[in-house]
Structure 1
Amino acid sequence: MLSIVLFCVLGMALLLNFPVAIALGISVLITIITVPGAPPISSLISSMISLSDSFTLIAVPLFVLAGEVMQTGGLSKRLVNLAFHLVGKVRAGMAYVNILASMFFAAISGSAPATVAAVGSNLIPQMHTLGYKKDFSSALTASSGMIGVLIPPSIPMIVYGVSANVSIGALFLAGIVPGILLGILFAITSRIIIGKSLDNHESRNLSADLIKESTISVFKNAFWALLTPLIILGGIYGGVFTPTEAGAVAVVYAIIISIFVYKELTLKQLYDLLFSSAKVSARILSLVLFSIAFGRLVTIAEVPQQVAMALQSVSDNPIIIIAMLNLLLLIVGMFMETIAAIIILTPILLPVAVAAGVGPLSFGVIMTVNLAIGFCTPPLGVNLFVASSVSKVSVNQISKAILPFGFSMLIVLLITSYFPESFLFLVNLL
């Protein structure tokens, strides 16, 4: 009875277009009031306070702020320019620039939509002038943006680590290989799609732009921006500071470089960034807070055990169970915001995955890849809408153009699901 009321109220609240955090809170409150034997609200509030008092969670607002400062302060622009000089001279070079720039920015922001906005605003117009179709450029940018939640630092992985009590540093390491693999497959897909459709118009324009400034000069200009991911990851894995402390270091470093070195960030802009990042962080952390109470009720109702029994009644083969988990997560990713999905589903699905022989660390990567695909699939598809707003191409057109990149995403999903050694070796090595 408890689980039925809980999920029915949640579903109704979401259908009525309530924010996910409010929907979680309403479902918990109504369940407590209406279901006999439900735990008292005082115990849930106590759990919310004790479990949300987490040092690790502070990393979320810090990395959100760091990403916004770096985008406004000129760091992302210089990384895009560097990618342009590194891989822009070959045929389909601007497609490779788009992917590489997304990977650079992913190592700074930890956010897929932020990556699409930063890279797309710089590159989609340039790609169009060089002969690329706008729907292709937009689809590539939306796809490459999903790398932002795999290559560390990753905000969804931080939230999963808190929810599942898994090392954030280990999750960051585990996400590197899938992120790089996605970039490689996107590059191959781009080259196949483009083929010989671009004439020498692209190479002539690229050559003219590249001559304006030498690669060495561009590298020097991007040097301080390139140091950012090295400081963050080097500090974490060198044992100098924790992921949360790395977020604080990233914020301070980004502000200093943006104001005093690149001189593209004013105090007025910094104030606006503090306000905008606070709104984003408040939304994420309110989700975490209400999800703690929701997760407590889910556990009391024995939902994880019921889900495990339902899946095992279909098959006790681990390969089949993992496939069903992937299918469920892919569908959820199409309709639910990533952070909310992680918070709600981790306590339900993690026990099922562990019973199928998937460790908590591996499942974190599998879940993140699944939900990252949701950034690129309608109807939610946040990356699609961000790319559409930048390029002025309709979401429908981008959705059709993104289908070839979807095959690359599914290949990476299959590799991470059934060959966890492909990314765990890096964790074991370090």
Structure 2
Amino acid sequence: MTLFFLAIAIIIFLLLIEVPVGFAFGIGALAFGYMQGTDVSFHTGAGYSQVNAFSLLAIPLFVLSGTLMGATGISERLLDFVNSFVGRTKGGLGAVTVVTCALFGAISGSASAAIAAIGKIMVPRMIKEGYPPGHATALVAVSSVLALMIPPSIPMIVFAIAIRESVAKAFLATMGPGIMLAIIYCGLNFWFLRKNTTITVAESLSFGDTVKEIGRTGKRASLAIIMPIIILGGIYSGIATPTEAGSMALVYTLAVGLLIYRTLPFNKLFDSTVEAARLTGAILMVLFFLFIMSRGMVLAKVPTQFADMLLTISDNKIVILLLINLLLLIMGMIIDDVSGGVLAAIILLPVTQKIGLDPIHFAAIVGTNLGLGNVSPPCAPLLYMAGGVTRQPLSTYVGPTMKFLLLGHLPMVFIVTFVPPVALFLPGLLD
């Protein structure tokens, strides 16, 4: 156990001095193997075998389809469609941002893609109409997490593979909480802005004109709206595996961008492919070293020892669940959601097994918690990315972000943890 904590300390130190995540985990894995006195090459074969799994092919497919969707202008069409419903009410643009981030998550499965695609468009628009800049940036940051919870979710693909559970069930485990969180954020947005006098609201339309606008924008966004239906329908009907659904998503995106919208010239196609390759390479590099490290930890019985250590603190299930949530929150603050998911699977799964927690319920807890950590200061990778994209100073959006998290996301973490049907109802429909 001492060697494990030392290896984790090395990784955290490297991350804090801004060493790239892949290299940090690589050095940590090598250090752990060296301190164990084992030949690291003994573990590389297992790491390569796990990274080479067919199911992981879904990651580059969804990443590439997501980057291509952003390049084709799909995000603007989705924004216009959602805006036709609530955009002409006070605080309506904020609700549009939340809902569009959720919809974009159902297309790309990436929080960073949601920030880049939605934040660049919506924050300037909200500020122009009188929204506080900090509120607008915070709303994009916290809403981006919905892309990690609404399927298809890249972190859930990796986590399900790591715990050897159904990817489809892991998708659905975070879907219910994701939808509930989107509703909560919309409500909080309206509540926080209720006394704001600087917001300008477009003139209301008659019922007939509103229906026409919804029809017009819906027609423009129809192909984007259909895409999640095709992907998720294919998976849950049993027609396609998640990997095959990723292939369907990519082919569909190319067809829409090249043949129908014709907004995907060669330079955009090339740039999107390079960006997807970069993101996929970074994810797989981290996974490779994590799998190597996990094999060493399993052979050293670290997960079992860690489970026993937690259970010596208390044998009360509620206390153990609170400790698990705290650890996941800290993980989310320090590392990205994919890496955090794999570490959680390695370290915490034995603990959950000993207290009789359903693995799919654990998947929902992990997904909800890591999302909270990713936007919680001091590290908060998604929060700082939102500030960088929107070019707002940190001091303007930290306060509004904390209000959204404390009143929205943190209660959802407790609901998911202590009200299992919230996480298990939808996956149970597949049984």
Aligned runs of 1:220-299 on 2, under 5 Å?
220-299=219-298
> Where does 1:36-75 land on structure 2 (aligned, <5 Å)?
36=37, 38=38, 40-75=39-74
Displacement, 1:206?
A: 8.7
The answer as to 2:365 corresponding to 1:359 is: no
Taking the TM superposition and a 5 Å limit, the aligned residue runs for 1:138-177 are: 138-177=137-176
In the other structure, the counterpart of 1:426 is 426
Give the equivalent residue in structure 1 for 2:337: 338
Change (3 A) 1:144 1:31: closer
Which residue is 2:300 aligned to? Answer: 301
Q: Is the 8 A contact 1:112 1:375 kept in 2?
A: no
Label 1:105 to 1:15 Cα distance change in 2 as closer, same or farther (>3 A).
closer
CA 196–46 in structure 1, closer or farther in 2 if over 3 Å, else same: same
Distance in 2 between residues matched to 1:387 and 1:91, nearest whole Å: 23
Q: Report the equivalent of 2:76.
A: 77
Q: What's the CA shift for 1:111? A: 0.9
Distance (whole Å) between structure 1 residues aligned to residue 5 and residue 412 of structure 2: 35
Answer whether contact 1:25 1:290 (CA < 8 A) is retained. yes
Q: Is the 8 A contact 1:330 1:370 kept in 2?
A: yes
Runs of 4+ more than 6 Å apart: 210-213
C-alpha separation in 2, matches of 1:4 and 1:380: 20
Tell me the SS of whatever aligns to 1:197. Answer: coil
Asked if 1:374 corresponds to 2:373, the answer is: yes
* CA drift at 1:211: 7.5
Say if 1:249 and 1:355 are closer, same or farther in 2 by CA, change over 3 A: same
Q: Who is 2:400 aligned against?
A: 401
Contact 1:377 1:399 in 2 (8 A): no
Partner amino acid, structure 1, of 2:410: L
| Structure 2 match to 1:415 | 415
| Counterpart Cα distance in 1 of 2:368 and 2:390 | 26
What is the rounded CA distance, in whole Å, between the counterparts of 1:47 and 1:65 in structure 2? 27
Q: CA deviation at 1:217?
A: 1.2
How far residue 62 of structure 1 moved from its aligned partner, in angstroms, is 0.8
CA distance in 2, matches of 1:427, 1:49: 30
- Which amino acid letter does the alignment assign opposite residue 247 of structure 2? A
Overall identity of the aligned pairs, in %: 34
Contact 1:135–1:397 under 8 Å retained in 2: yes
Cα deviations by residue, 1:250-306 (Å, 9 ceiling, x for unpaired): 111111101221111102210111111100000001111111110011112222222
What CA distance in whole angstroms lies between the structure 1 residues aligned with 2:121 and 2:35?
A: 53
Task: State whether residues 12 and 334 of structure 2, in contact with CA within 8 Å, keep that contact through their aligned partners in structure 1.
Answer: no
Q: Deviations over 1:323-362 (max 9, x none)?
A: 0110111122112222222222321111111212211111
CA–CA separation in structure 2 for the residues paired with 1:2 and 1:176: 37
Relative to structure 1, the CA distance from residue 205 to residue 358 in structure 2 (aligned partners, 3 Å threshold; closer, same or farther) is same
**Secondary structure, counterpart of 2:200 in structure 1:** helix
Contact 1:134 1:391 in 2 (8 A): no
Task: Evaluate the alpha carbon distance shift between residue 256 and residue 417 of structure 1 in structure 2; reply closer, same or farther with a 3 A threshold.
Answer: same
- 2:27 corresponds to which residue? 26
Per the TM alignment, residue 41 of structure 1 is displaced from its structure 2 partner at its CA by 3.1
- Per the alignment, residue 387 of structure 1 pairs with 386
Give me the whole-angstrom Cα distance separating, in 1, the residues matched to 2:90 and 2:18.
Answer: 46
Q: For residues 419 and 8 of structure 1, what CA distance do their matches in structure 2 show?
A: 34
| Correspondence for 1:89 | 88
- 1:320 Cα deviation after fit: 0.6
Supply the AA of the counterpart residue of 2:418.
Y
Quote the offset at 1:11 in angstroms: 4.4
Structure-2 change in CA distance of 1:131 and 1:164 (3 Å):
same
Q: CA deviation at 1:12?
A: 4.7
The 3 A distance-change label for structure 1 pair 213 and 138 is farther
Partner of 2:115: 116
Gaps of 5+ in 1: none
8 Å CA contact retained: 2:26, 2:286 = no
Q: 1:28: Cα distance to partner?
A: 2.9
Return the alpha-carbon distance in structure 2 between the equivalents of residues 86 and 221 of structure 1: 15
Residue number in structure 1 paired with 2:4: 3
Query: In the alignment, what sits opposite 2:217?
Result: 218
Superposition deviation, residue 236 in structure 1: 0.6
Residues in 2 aligned to 1:301 and 1:389: alpha-carbon distance in whole angstroms = 42
- Checking the alignment, whether the CA contact within 8 Å between 1:130 and 1:205 is kept in structure 2 is no
| Equivalent residues of 1:322, 1:356 under 8 A apart | no
Query: Contact 1:105/1:148 (CA < 8 Å) preserved in 2?
Result: yes
After superposition, give the CA deviation of every residue in 1:95-147 in whole Å (9 maximum; x if it has no partner). Answer: 11111111111110111121122111111111112221111111111111110
- The answer (yes or no) to whether the contact 2:22–2:285 under 8 Å persists in 1 is yes
AA at the equivalent of 2:226: L
Structure 2: segments with no counterpart, 5+ residues: none
- 2:4 is aligned with what amino acid? S
May I ask how many residue pairs the two structures share in their alignment?
426
* Cα deviation code 1:80-105 (max 9, x no counterpart): 11000022233321111111111111
The one-letter code matched in structure 2 to 1:262 is Y
Q: Residues 2-48 of structure 1: CA distance to partner in whole angstroms, max 9, x if unpaired?
A: 43553454345445543232222223334434544x3x334312211
Contact 1:384 1:395 in 2 (8 A): no
Note if contact 2:106-2:150 (Cα within 8 Å) is conserved in structure 1. Answer: yes
Deviations 1:171-191 (A, max 9, x none): 111221111010111011111
Counterpart Cα distance in 1 of 2:259 and 2:68: 13
Match of 1:192 in 2: 191
Name whichever of 143-152 and 71-80 sits farther off. Answer: 71-80
The aligned amino acid for 2:20 is P
Which residue of the partner structure matches residue 105 of structure 1?
Answer: 104
